[in-house]
Amino acid sequence: MTANPLDVPPDPAVPLQPRSGQRGTGFLTEPLRLGTTPSATVGPYLAIGLTWPDGAWAAAEGTEGGIWIRGRVVDGAGDLVPDAMIETWQADPDGRFPSPEDPRGAASYPGFRGYARVQTSDPPGEFGVFTLKPGRVPDGEGGLQAPHVDVSVFARGMLDRVVTRVYFADEAAANAEDVVLRGLTEEQRRTLVAERTADGYRFDVHLQGERETVFFAV
Amino acid sequence: MTGTTSERGLLLPRYLREPAEKRTPVGFPGYRSTALRAPLRTPVDLPHRLTEITGPVLGEDRVLPQDADLTLRNGGEAIGQRILVYGRVLDSDGRPVPDALVEVWQANAAGRYRHVADTWPAPLDPHFDGLGRVVTDSLGRYEFMTVKPGAYPWGNHHNAWRPAHIHFSLFGRAFTQRLVTQMYFPDDPLFGQDPIFTSIPAAARYRAVSRYSLDRTQDNWALAFEWDVVLRGTDQTPFETEDDGDVA
């Protein structure tokens, strides 16, 4: 424990330095890159920095056709996690994104933000996001993805976010041809499919255990 | 393969992932709370498609001018060593990330958070809430004024103390670029016993540590620390096509 943990060789020449690619030739063998900043846990006090009064509203309150995606975050002992944060990102009902990064152009669907951020603190262990059901988005292989919501989960006790997806139980035909779901076992698929409820859908996240949710490396 | 995926004629960027030996693992044995929370199964690879390469636009409308100065709250001045924290948000290609929302939160100078779950006997400061928000400018620059946070005990092991740190939450342009992290201060003697710091692979730890900046230190007012945040960039490998043969 006396060693200085910083006393390690740094990455080779981090800021842009010509000639750093290959000693002797002056030519670069690959593009120069900066090392990305390592992630860290949000810790137990994330509510100080990451609480938004309008966080739950991926679609504006009262938007026609709005649904609640509600769920719980459960740890490896089966206990509710009361200090997690859920973020969601998804297409609008036309399958377009309110983002200039969409190469088809940024869409502007009335009342739709596409992004929500909520904590599992009220009531403890549960979250709720108000949104519109997404449309289908091209899958890059000539087909369409099933309606889905990308989800990030952050919490004390996780040093990085974990990423999963919500699919919808009443989209069986679309789910059957979805490029992501097709690559999963039936048991894995079940962890991603939200069940219909009175006001929307239910999607529980199991961080560990027999029912561990499928998480994605993105 | 080239660095892009064809989306029926649409070219999508592919966001590069840091190799595992330079990324923080989601779980780490020395950090006890990860035992029941960090997923145990290998994540499933998800190639980047439209949902992953887009992201929300969150900017100026979420930020007030006073959000960049954490030292002035409730009509008074926070107690502590005043510091300017500044830097740039870049992607790993070295390009600035402009108009990006940066949210920060931290303990006060005594190492106490204004949060119901923080009950250790250090004083709260009526003029410090520990919350700041800024948006990067056109060159990806951010800065905020605050006080240097104190270290605090956290019960992970005997005599466990968190090194002074400021929590950062950042959005880039894409879902893949989302980052929550912590900024540390140079030469903190608590690094070696802190599993949240040492969970970062050794070769990448220096990236989490800010640099003292005499240049930006303000005479008779505040010390300054510089910290650049690097989000994932895209593979810029150019396409080889029939008509750019003379460029290659």
| Beta carbons of B167 and A42 less than 8 Å apart | yes
pLDDT of B31 reads: 98
B-chain residues within 8 Å CB-CB of A142? 8
Contacts of B89 (CB under 8 A, 6+ apart): B96, B97, B100, B102, B136, B140, B142, B170, B172, B228, B229, B231
If you search the block for the tokens 């048991």, which residue do you land on?
A187
Query: B100 pLDDT exceeds 80?
Result: yes
* Nearest CB neighbour to B46, from listed A103, A157, A180: A180
Mean pLDDT of B88-100: 96
Minimal Cα distance from B51: which residue of A? Answer: A90
* Nearest CB neighbour to A89, from listed B93, B175, B237: B175
Mean pLDDT of all residues belonging to chain B: 92
pLDDT of B59 reads: 83
A64: Cα separation from own chain's centroid: 25
| Beta carbons of A137 and B131 less than 8 Å apart | no
Helix, strand or coil, per DSSP, at residue A132: coil
Q: How far apart are CA B128 and CA B148, in angstroms?
A: 12
Buried b (16+ CB within 10 A) or exposed e, A129-145: bbbbbbbbbbbbeeebb
More confident residue, B167 or A13: B167
Q: Which of A32, A42, A48 to mutate to test the interface with B (most CBs of B within 10 A)?
A: A48
Q: How far apart are CA A138 and CA B53, in angstroms?
A: 13
Q: How far apart are CA A131 and CA A114, in angstroms?
A: 7
How many CB atoms are located within 10 Å of the residue B72 CB? 13
Q: How far apart are CA B246 and CA B244, in angstroms?
A: 5
Q: How far apart are CA A149 and CA B51, in angstroms?
A: 8
DSSP state of B242: G
pLDDT of B2 reads: 37
Concatenated DSSP letters for A17-69?
-TT-SSTTT---SS---PPPPPP----TTHHHHH--TTTTBSB-TT-TT-EEE
B242 — pLDDT class (breaks 50, 70, 90): very low
- Alpha carbon distances (Å) from B38 to A41, A44, A149, A164, A212: 11, 15, 22, 14, 11
Chain A nearest-CA distance from B116, in A, is 9
Q: Which residue type, as a one-letter code, is found at position B26?
A: V
| Beta carbons of B53 and A208 less than 8 Å apart | no
Minimal Cα distance from A134: which residue of B? Answer: B51
Percent of chain B with pLDDT strictly greater than 70: 91
Query: A5 pLDDT exceeds 70?
Result: no
pLDDT of A22 reads: 44
A-chain residues within 8 Å CB-CB of B201? 38
Minimal Cα distance from B18: which residue of A? Answer: A36
Q: What is the pTM of this model?
A: 0.91
For B102-157, write each residue's pLDDT tens digit.
999 999 999 999 999 999 999 999 999 999 999 999 999 999 999 999 999 999 99
Minimal Cα distance from A32: which residue of B? Answer: B93
| Beta carbons of B180 and A42 less than 8 Å apart | yes
For A174-204, write each residue's pLDDT tens digit.
999 999 999 999 999 999 999 999 999 999 9
Catalytic residues of B: 113, 152, 162, 165, 167
Give the strand pairing for A67-74 and A126-131: antiparallel
Tokens of A172: 């069986």
Mean pLDDT of A148-160: 98
CA end-to-end span of chain B: 16
| Beta carbons of A39 and B23 less than 8 Å apart | yes
* Nearest CB neighbour to B57, from listed A11, A79, A98: A98
Query: B243 pLDDT exceeds 60?
Result: no
| Beta carbons of A37 and B179 less than 8 Å apart | yes
